[in-house]
Every structure is written in C-alpha cells, then in structure tokens.
Amino acid sequence: MAKAPRTLARRRRAVPEGGQVRALARPSTSKNDRIVATAARWIYEGRRLDMQGLADELGISRVTLFRRVGSREELIGQALWRLTERMLDIAVARWEAERPEGELHTPGTIRHINAMVAGSSGLRRLLDDEPALTMRVLTDPRGRVQSGIVAFNEDLLRRDMTEFGLVTLIEPGALAYALVRLGESFLYADVIAARKPDVATANRLQQALIEGILP
C-alpha cells in the first residue's frame, strides 16, 4: 500500500471519542494555547464566548486576553479551527475503522465530517447566536477553517489517486475546494439561504463529484 501524505498520515492514529482538543498555538506558547483550548471548550459546550468571563476563568485581565489573542473574532477562528482539527482526526479514525477493503478514503471520511458538523450543538448555538460572524469565520478562504479543510480534502483525494488510481474530474486542489463549498451550502443552508440543512444531499453530491459519476 502506498504511503499516505504526511499531513493525512498524522490523522490516521486512533482517536478517542472524548477528551480535550489537542494543542494548536498562536503563536506557539503555552499561555495562548490554554486560552484557545478554553475558548474551544466553551464553544463546544454551547456557551457564548464572553471575553470578560473567559478572562476571569483564565485568571487574567481582559486587556491581557486581547493582547495575547487579538480580537474576539480571531479567537473564535482559532477555537473553531482547534475543534475542526479534532473533528477531522475523529472522521479519519471512524471511517478507517469501518471502511470496506477497496473503498475510497475520501467519500466516507467526508460523510463522517458532515454528520459531525450537522450534529454539533455547540456550533449550532454559535450559528444561531452570531450567524454573520460565524459564517465569516467558517467560510473565509484566507482563514484557518476553510483553508485547513480544503488542504485536508486534497490530501485525501491524492491518497485515493495513489492507492486506488482515482481519476478526478479536475485537479485535486480545485476539487477539494469545490467539495468544501458544496458542503457549506447544504450544511449551513438555513443561515445562507433560509433552507433546511440537507446532509444526505451533500453526501450524495460530494460522492458524485469525487467519483465522477451522476448521483
């Protein structure tokens, strides 16, 4: 079997169902890491990210908090990326544990991602409370979240090309971006277009794009 790309290979290790989100720093300091980890936990638990309350829990001043992380929106972006990395790890572990021999890696992993996004009560609370800010953070092509998921999808596609001879309709980077944008349009349909989110249709269309067949 061909070796998986390094960025994807790191995600293939077993991931437990629970536990703390692993570290991601900005910049790489333990103090900032603790701030981001705490903010990620608040979002996961469905709590509004109140900067004064967060500073109180961390035992620092509000001024110090802003100096370390920048704006509240930037901290939300870092926290959401922290949660997203955790989600990607879990999606890989779950699909690889159940994937039938010969099945592609990409479609099944993305199905697990879609299910977790749709089932995240913390993310849903954030979308309900602050839809404009949340969508801006989630879908900014220059931000951590969307660009990170696009890179992750591209790694999956390239792995399927190497291991199974997958021939994509367009080059993998462009297809990875299209898969993310397609997922966003169905998973956040209630925020974007006042329509009900539709995970099943997202799964079906994404698989069709990956495999180059009609749904």
pLDDT at 16: 37
**Can you tell me the mean pLDDT for 180-194?**
95
| pTM strictly above 0.85 | no
Quote helix, strand, coil % in the chain, to nearest 5. Answer: 70, 0, 30
DSSP state of 130: -
pLDDT at 101: 94
Structure tokens at 203: 């799964």
Question: Is the confidence at residue 19, as pLDDT, over 50?
Answer: no
Question: Is the confidence at residue 15, as pLDDT, over 60?
Answer: no
Sign of the four-CA dihedral 49, 149, 7, 108: positive
- The pLDDT > 90 percentage for the chain reads 82
* Helical (H) or strand (E) element with 34: helix 30-44
List, for residues 99-121, the tens digit of each pLDDT value. 999 999 999 999 999 999 999 99
List, for residues 109-157, the tens digit of each pLDDT value. 999 999 999 999 999 999 999 999 999 999 999 999 999 999 999 999 9
**Can you tell me the mean pLDDT for 4-8?**
46
Average pLDDT along the chain: 88
pLDDT at 102: 93
- Residue 21: CB atoms within 10 A of its CB come to 19
pLDDT at 30: 76
In angstroms, the CA 37 to CA 137 distance is 17
Backbone phi and psi for residue 119, each to the nearest 5 degrees, phi listed first: -95, 5
Among 10-14, 21-25, 164-168, which stretch is predicted with the lowest mean pLDDT?
21-25
CATH for 6-13+72-211 (1.10.3470, 1.10.10, 1.10.357, 3.10.50): 1.10.357
